Structures are given as C-alpha cells and as structure tokens.
Chains A and B, each alone.
Chain A
Amino acid sequence: MFGVHERFDVPRPPAVLMKGSTAGSRRGRRAVIAKKSGAAATSDTVVMTELLVLIAQHRDKDAFSRLFAHYAPRIKSYLMRQGANQASAEELSQEAMVSVWRKADRFDPTKASAGTWIFTVARNLRIDALRKERRPNFDPEDPAFVPEAETSPDRAVEVGETQVKIKAAIAELPEEQAEVIRLSFYQDKPHGEIAEELDLPLGTVKSRLRLAMRRLRLALGEEQ
C-alpha cells in the first residue's frame, strides 16, 4: 500500500500521450479513448477519495481547497443544467461544499468514490432547494436496517476498479442509450417527460435504460 502523500503526487500522463489515434474505425477509436480516460480517472479518483478521507479524519483545509477546486465547478454546472440560474447555482454550490465538509465523516470509501458521493450530496441538495421536496434516504444506523451479508477487506480498491469499469462502459454505450442516461441523471425529469422530449414511446426510453443497465452489469462481470 502506498502512503497517502506519495499517492497525491501521481503525475498525470503528458498531454501528448492522451490524444487518441486519428486512424481506425469509430468503434476502435472509442475504445482507445475509453482506455486512456480510464487511466486518468484512476489517479483522479484515488486522489480525490484520499483528499476526502483527509478532510474526514483530520479536518484538513488544504485538502478541502483542492477538493473544492475540482468539484465546485462541477456542482455548479450540474445545478445549472438542472435549471438553476447562475446566482442560485453559485450559492448552492457553496452550500454543497460546506455540506461536504460537515458530512465528510459519513463518506465511506468502501462504498463509493469521492465523485459519486459528492454527486449524491449535490443531488440531495438540489431536490431540497430546487424541487422543494424532502429526499427520503435509508440510514445504516437505523435499527430496522438489514445489512449486507459481508464485505470483503479490499472493498476500497474494488470501488476504484468499479468506477473505472463504469467509465469504460459509458464510453462504449451506443449514443441512443447514452442520451437517455444523460437526460435521466441531468434533468429533473421523469422518464415519461424524457420520452416526450425525445419524441419516443415511454417503452422505448425504458428499454434503452434497461439495455444500458444490462451493459453496465456485463461490464462489471455480473451477468453472462
């Protein structure tokens, strides 16, 4: 296991190596991009996750500043796509980052990557602030909660690997499936409204989502 500080200095691959080859079929090129961005994601994901752990354990403000630089602009972009104007998106992204600081001890690196966890924080804040609704969430401390049968000790490593596989699976999705996924995560719209927007029957939207889910499961080695 590397120490935390060595991991922070993982260099990014030089930009010239990041460019995909211009030759080859569309499919082949996509695979190259997926592979390269997958490698970049590994170091990013690891760094961000460790920053978040530092914040949780040591209330480290330098770590927080670095996390802020990466995620605040993403949260703001997410909120603007969900219909917030520039001023309220700014205010809510600040609110979300304060929330990340306060709730950092609830982040569990064996369950999710930093990006996924911060996405859920931003999502819950959006439901609360933009939709003015409560977000019912399960609580592992709940006496009625039924826990997993067991978790393996290498779960944190698995989470990183899973995230890389998810990334590759998204890059490989046919555009029509990728589109319904983006709309369902990026616009606060029920599947019925997505169907209207794309001028498709609801059944088609649902079946594209199902196909995308199946591909994801295949990518994660859960189905044959």
Chain B
Amino acid sequence: MNASHHPSDDLLWSYAAGSLDEPSSILIATHLSLCPACRAVVAKAEGMGGELFENSGTADIDAGSLDAVLARLDETEEAPRIALETVGEEAESVSVPRPLKDYLPGSIPSLSWRWLGPGVHYTAIKTEARGPKVGLLRIAPGTKVPMHGHSGNEMTMVLAGGYTDATGNYQRGDVEAADDGLVHQPVADAGEECLCLVVTEGELQPTGMIAKVLQPFFRF
C-alpha cells in the first residue's frame, strides 16, 4: 500500500539539491523508500540539478589531474556494503527502511526507550549534524497523545500502526508536517502500536491540562 500523505515539494527539492539538513533528510529518504510518487518528484528535481550542473560553467583542472585519477582506478575498490541482516534482525517486528536502519544501533525493541507519558515512549536518534532533532515515538494502541503546540516545525512519518488527528488519518509511509502554531491531538489507532519517526525543530509546547503535568517529559 502506498502513502497518501506526502512531504511538500519544497522539502523534496531541498533534498534533491542537497541543502536539506541531515535529520530531515533521514525522514525524507525513509519516505522515498516507500513512495514511488515522491521518488519521481525527486528524480525530476535532480534532472533539473543535472541540467544546471551541465551548463553552469567549468573550472580549469590541474594538468596532472587525469593521470592522477587514472593511476588510482586499479586500486582495491571500496569494501562491499555491509549486509542488511547484521543487526538484531530476528527481533525486528517492523520492516525498517534502510535510510533509517543505518542510524539505529539495534532492532526497534532493543533501543533505549524513555517513558514520556502513559502509553508514549521516545528514543533519540544520534546524528553529528546541526539542525533539528530526530527520534522515534512509540504510542500504545488507542492512546491520546497530550494536546501540544509547536514553537517550530515538526514532521512525523508513520512506520507501523497509525494515528488520527484533526487533519486526517496517517498510516505507514504517511508524512504529516505540523507548522509553527498548529495545535493537535493525535490519537493512535486501535489494534496495533503506532511507531513514528519524528523530526522536531524547537520545543513542543504542551497545552492541555494533562500535558502541563507531562511538560518536563516533552523536552526531547
């Protein structure tokens, strides 16, 4: 089943141009693994990049440059990429796309989950990068996530299960972008635990009663 909520063209173009920060790029690349339609958009933006690359000028290369490169072509080539099945595959209950899996130290259940509130757990994903924070959120079936607002943008992508808020229902592969100012209250669908990849700029601002009690936990 293909995704029905997609990231904006703006984000897909930034990803194609290579100007998008690494944490957001993890989410976009994970979505692209599951979404042929957005891969087509990125392919076109890259086609545009390729066209500009062909026609935006040249710089003189050093005289010995080609020889230096030719001399290196027979060097031992890079090591084959590590097989996907190396880490904790047996414990994996969710099919995790490679762009995300590459950042995880182990299977989903083995990560160090922090309790954020009833039925809600979070784990941060480490990157060396500047920019927003990225992490995974686990929400028990039927759980109401405390109502919260945003002091910056937030992007969520569903990996398993699903959730519903005022803007619609989100299933595996779907991306929701919450702008500055949006207040929403997602409710996890019944039946299956909801696992989301979340990229947050700035801090979440819990607004409801219960959320006020939970506020300290929302500082991811």
Binding site for B on A (CB under 8 A): 37, 41, 44, 61, 64-65, 68-69, 72-74, 76-78, 80-81, 86, 89-90, 93-94, 97-98, 101-102, 111-113, 115-120, 122-124, 126-127, 132-139, 142-149, 162-163, 166-167, 170, 181-182, 184-191, 206, 209-210, 213, 216-217, 220
- B residues 1-51 with Cβ under 8 Å of A? 2, 9-10, 13-14, 17-22, 25-26, 28-30, 32-36, 39, 43-51
Number of A-B contacts defined by CB within 8 Å: 205
- 5 A–B contacts from the bound complex (CB under 8 Å): A142-B98, A145-B33, A185-B17, A185-B49, A209-B9
**Contact status B49-A89, CB under 8 Å:** no
**Contact status A138-B98, CB under 8 Å:** yes
Cβ-based interface call for B209 (8 A): no
A142–B62 Cα distance when bound, in Å, is 39
Q: A77 and B54 in contact (CB under 8 A), knowing A98-B69, A135-B25, A216-B48?
A: no
> Nearest chain B CB to A156's CB is how many angstroms away?
14
> Nearest chain A CB to B48's CB is how many angstroms away?
6
- B residues 41-78 with Cβ under 8 Å of A? 43-62, 65-66, 68-70, 72-73, 77-78
**Contact status A147-B36, CB under 8 Å:** yes
A59–B98 Cα distance when bound, in Å, is 29
A interface, over-half SS: helix
- The 9 A-B pairs at the shortest CB distance, nearest first, are namely A116-B50, A73-B58, A136-B29, A142-B98, A76-B59, A136-B99, A119-B53, A77-B59, A123-B18
Given contacts A74-B53, A138-B30, A142-B97, 6 further A-B contacts (CB under 8 A): A61-B70, A72-B65, A137-B29, A139-B98, A162-B47, A191-B19
Determine the residue in chain B with the shortest Cβ distance to A120.
B46
Partner of B48, one of A41, A170, A189: A170
**Contact status A213-B59, CB under 8 Å:** no
Binding site for A on B (CB under 8 A): 2, 9-10, 13-14, 17-22, 25-26, 28-30, 32-36, 39, 43-62, 65-66, 68-70, 72-73, 77-78, 84, 95-100, 102-103, 127-129, 173
With a cutoff of 8 Å between Cβ atoms, the chain A residues found around residue B28 in the complex are: 136
**Contact status B51-A166, CB under 8 Å:** yes
Determine the residue in chain B with the shortest Cβ distance to A184.
B17
**Contact status B51-A133, CB under 8 Å:** no
> Nearest chain B CB to A71's CB is how many angstroms away?
9
With a cutoff of 8 Å between Cβ atoms, the chain A residues found around residue B14 in the complex are: 184, 190-191
**Contact status A213-B13, CB under 8 Å:** yes
With a cutoff of 8 Å between Cβ atoms, the chain B residues found around residue A185 in the complex are: 17, 48-49, 52-53
Most buried by B among A138, A139, A170: A138
With a cutoff of 8 Å between Cβ atoms, the chain B residues found around residue A163 in the complex are: 47, 50-51
With a cutoff of 8 Å between Cβ atoms, the chain A residues found around residue B54 in the complex are: 41, 44, 74, 115
With a cutoff of 8 Å between Cβ atoms, the chain B residues found around residue A134 in the complex are: 22, 127-129
Q: A139 and B59 in contact (CB under 8 A), knowing A122-B53, A190-B14, A210-B10?
A: no
